[in-house]
Amino acid sequence: MNEVDLQPEDPRRKVLHPEVIGERFEGARREDGTPLVHAEGTSKPIRAKAPREPQPRGARERGNRPVDQAEAAERFIAATEHEKAHDERVWDMRQRRDRAAHALPEWEEMRTLASRIKEHALAHLDQYLEQFEAAARSNGVTVHWAADAAEHNRIVHSILDSHGAKTLIKSKSMLTDECGFRAYMKGVGIEIIETDLGERIQQLDGEEPSHVIGPAIHKTRGDVADLFARTLGSDPDDDDVHHLATVQRETTRPLILNAGAGITGCNFAIAETGTVVVCTNEGNADLSANTPPLHIASIGIEKIIPRLTDLGVFLRLLARNAIGTSMTQYTSHFRGPRAGAEMHFVIVDNGRSERLGLEEFWTSLKCIRCGACMNTCPVYRRSGGLSYGATYSGPIGLILDPTLNRRKYSSLPFSSTLNGSCTNVCPVKINIHEQIFAWRKVMAEEHRLPVLNMEMMKALGEVLAHPKLYRAAVGAADEMLKTLPHFVVDNPLNTWTNKGRTMPAVPQHTFHSWWREHRMNRQGQS
Amino acid sequence: MSVREAVLARVRANRPQGQYALPGLPKFALTQPDGLVAAFAAALAGMGGKLIIPTAAEDATEMTRRQLAGTGVVCSAVPEIAGNRDLSQVRQPRDLADVDVAVVRAVLGVAETGSVLFTESELKVNTLAYLAQHLIVLLRREAIVPGIQDAYQHPCFRTAHYAVFHTGPSATADIEGVLIHGAQGVRSLTVVLTG
């Protein structure tokens, strides 16, 4: 095994932030000693260096008032070690995704197929839900329906109560996060044990997941060492990642063995067979479902796909698009209870049926939660998932969150450069950036613009209403920008530069002056 | 109106307008120039698993038996390997927590991905493949199919209560992207090619 894996000429040296790149891979290797890259593993050895930088926290809780994503993002960017390590890792996933996608000649055809299957399923969702329910019932599964988050939590609670279950082992599920499930269960005295390493880290730290694939991707090894020392009694000075993972495995295993029930989410619900499909890398969904005598699966109504064979399309896209591997380590199909055990499905709406009726936004229900739009987003990469203060972060969050709470998440659609990269990488072809823009229009019409944008819009409205005033203003502004010193331009009132950006170079002419000189004169017109 | 009826009624009322026909599923050709076994081996190795192809002199069963000699608690779900823990005596799924090595036969293998497929019929007790520290999988050479699409043609998906693809061992990289085998499940997965 080589101590130093990265030679200066190694192409993997092409990194964004050399400061956070370690000298050697610490992860699993092939038999010949070469580093392995699968699961969420990075192809570059990330190493946050000592002294430890305190972890930047997410968006401040402001009740129902709009989340201030920009404020949280500024704090994340100020924590340079965290910001760079996050950017490096997330961008690495994007690059791995590209390599996997380019290796399949039929990639674009697959995306179109996946999109069309999902659109068909959503346009016939009532029939497919009924078909799924009937199949599940005939397989011996008890099916429940929940209109909203509160009802989901109550139903799961009552199932647990009827079994006398006091502890619940849980595999990662965005839907349960959306339902505030952990907080609810804490309130009624049921102990939840997250079994995914990243999700367990987040649970112990009292944080929401920051990424759909890597819940603790914003944390450094130092953050985890501190957290485990505080909550699991490990050595705070031992930040060896293998040791940290072992601490979690060994403290969680007894809780898994003794749990009263297990709960999983659902990646795909197959109408034809009544099967729930769950994808994990750790095998924790299989432990959660197979160890206790009771398995509950929480299923969003949009997870329905018509046919078993449709999985051949979606599974070929999901892991490739998420982490650049052809599959996740485990793809589990739960169709019916084990002998002597019970299986319950809770089918949850929680605003999805309303979203289905929004002409501009219903296709966001096609999302398969791969996280690729986050990995490619320049705003997400540099601000971290927790800055969004919502269950869903990144580009997909900007268009899902406002349907869950329009006031609280009214500012989120403005946390985007509208560059369209999210749309380009989406495996089910959701026009994410167009929907972000459409949400901005909705927020403007409902007077929910962030305050600074409002003030600027008012001033802009005045100027735009008067063409001559506009031309004079643009010309004057450009002239001023050429000569003004930086401290005047980069002032805190300039909402462009105070977000860590620099002003673009000033053009030689305004478009209007160029047009007048070249086109109007040439054509001899005034 | 029940919650079920209310949800379905809203879904019906909000149904997107337009024609959205269900597309047929084309069969995509896979490039596997060196054959299914080589493709399977390469894909499995990339996911952290290992393929063993027995030599002509020793058959797969003999080889597996030899490898298992002297390893702690061995629990086998295949008749040809005895092991020292009787699966039929297991009363609860958690009783398998002390198993060092589990031996299971796969329904099929997938060359495209390096996956192996199990149902409750192969596992006998489902937790066997997760609570054990290491997993040995017997796979018949002719049970390797080219791609995931082909795997879903297998009838077991329509009859089994539990079916699962394992693609390499349990893995996590949730801390700084450092890849670790044995997150909550098995620390290694070895496929032995038989017959």
State the amino acid at position A368 in one-letter form: I
Average pLDDT, chain B: 96
- Residue ranges in A169-240 assigned as alpha helix (H): 174-178, 181-187, 197-204, 221-232
Whether the pLDDT of residue A315 is over 60: the answer is yes
The pLDDT assigned to A363 comes to 98
Please judge whether A286 and B176 are an interchain contact, meaning their C-beta atoms are less than 8 angstroms apart: no
The pLDDT assigned to A350 comes to 97
pLDDT, one tens digit per residue, over A344-390 is 999 999 999 999 999 999 999 999 999 999 999 999 999 999 999 99
The strand pair at B188-194 and B50-52 is best described as: parallel
Q: Which H/E stretch holds residue B117?
A: strand B115-119
Is A415 in contact with A396 (CB distance < 8 Å)? Answer: no
pLDDT, one tens digit per residue, over A394-442 is 999 999 999 999 999 999 999 999 999 999 999 999 999 999 999 999 9
Cα distance from B83 to chain A (closest Cα, Å)? 22
Chain A residues whose CB is inside 8 A of the B113 CB are 326-327
What are the boundaries of each domain within chain A? 452-522
Whether the pLDDT of residue A526 is over 70: the answer is no
3-state secondary structure of A100: helix
C-alpha B39/C-alpha A135 separation (Å) is 36
Whether the pLDDT of residue A2 is over 50: the answer is no
C-alpha A504/C-alpha B145 separation (Å) is 55
Chain A residues whose CB is inside 8 A of the B155 CB are none
Whether the pLDDT of residue A15 is over 50: the answer is yes
Domain membership flag for residue B17: no
Largest distance between two CA atoms of chain B = 71
Residue A14: pLDDT band with limits 50, 70, 90: confident
Chain B residues whose CB is inside 8 A of the A306 CB are 22
CATH code, domain with B169: 3.40.50.10420
- What predicted TM-score, i.e. pTM, was given to this entire model? 0.90
The strand pair at A330-334 and B162-166 is best described as: antiparallel
- Residue ranges in A124-240 assigned as alpha helix (H): 125-138, 149-162, 174-178, 181-187, 197-204, 221-232
The pLDDT assigned to A488 comes to 56
pLDDT, one tens digit per residue, over B58-74 is 888 888 998 898 889 99
The pLDDT assigned to A11 comes to 54
C-alpha B9/C-alpha A290 separation (Å) is 35
**What are the Cα distances from residue B49, in Å, to A213, A288, A332, B129?**
22, 23, 18, 14
Whether the pLDDT of residue A223 is over 90: the answer is yes
What percentage of residues in chain B have a pLDDT greater than 90? 90
The CA-based angle A237-A242-A247, given to 5 degrees, is 70
What percentage of residues in chain A have a pLDDT greater than 90? 78
Q: Give backbone dihedrals phi and psi of B108, rounded to 5 degrees, phi first.
A: -160, 170
Please judge whether B164 and A308 are an interchain contact, meaning their C-beta atoms are less than 8 angstroms apart: no
3-state secondary structure of A478: helix
Q: How many domains does chain B have?
A: 1
The pLDDT assigned to A500 comes to 60
pLDDT, one tens digit per residue, over A263-276 is 999 999 999 999 99
The pLDDT assigned to A497 comes to 55
Domain membership flag for residue B15: no
Complex ipTM above 0.95? yes
Mutate to test the interface with A, among B156, B174, B181, B191 (most CBs of A within 10 A): B174
- Residues 6+ away with beta carbon under 8 Å from A309: B25, B149, B152, B153
Average pLDDT, chain A: 91
Of A38, A110, A117, nearest to B47 by CB-CB distance is A38
Q: Which residues of A164-201 are buried (b: 16+ CB within 10 A; e: fewer)?
A: ebebbbbbbbbbbbbbbbbebbeeeebebbbbbbbbbb
Query: Chain A residue closest to B167 (CA)?
Result: A329
**What are the Cα distances from residue A381, in Å, to A214, A218, A375, A487, B104?**
13, 10, 7, 28, 42
Region A186-192: mean pLDDT is: 97
Instruction: Write out the residue range of the structural domain in which residue B102 sits.
Output: 31-194
Domain membership flag for residue B2: no
- Residues 6+ away with beta carbon under 8 Å from B77: B87, B102, B103, B104, B105, B122, B123, B124, B128
- Residues 6+ away with beta carbon under 8 Å from A507: A478
First to last CA, chain B: 59
Query: Chain B residue closest to A358 (CA)?
Result: B14
Domain membership flag for residue B5: no
Domain membership flag for residue B35: yes
Residue A284: pLDDT band with limits 50, 70, 90: very high
Distance of CA B47 to the CA centre of its chain: 12
Task: Count Cβ atoms below 10 Å from residue A468 Cβ, excluding itself.
Answer: 7
Domain membership flag for residue B7: no
Whether the pLDDT of residue A119 is over 80: the answer is yes
Is A195 in contact with B184 (CB distance < 8 Å)? Answer: yes
pLDDT, one tens digit per residue, over A107-116 is 999 999 999 9
Domain membership flag for residue B14: no
Question: Which 36-65 residues of chain A touch chain B by CB within 8 A?
Answer: 36-42, 44-48
Q: Is A130 on the interface with B (CB under 8 A)?
A: yes
Is the peptide bond preceding residue A51 cis, with omega within 30 degrees of 0?
yes
Chain B residues whose CB is inside 8 A of the A338 CB are 120, 126, 161-162
Please judge whether B175 and A147 are an interchain contact, meaning their C-beta atoms are less than 8 angstroms apart: no
First to last CA, chain A: 76
Chain B residues whose CB is inside 8 A of the A327 CB are 47, 113-115, 148, 165, 167
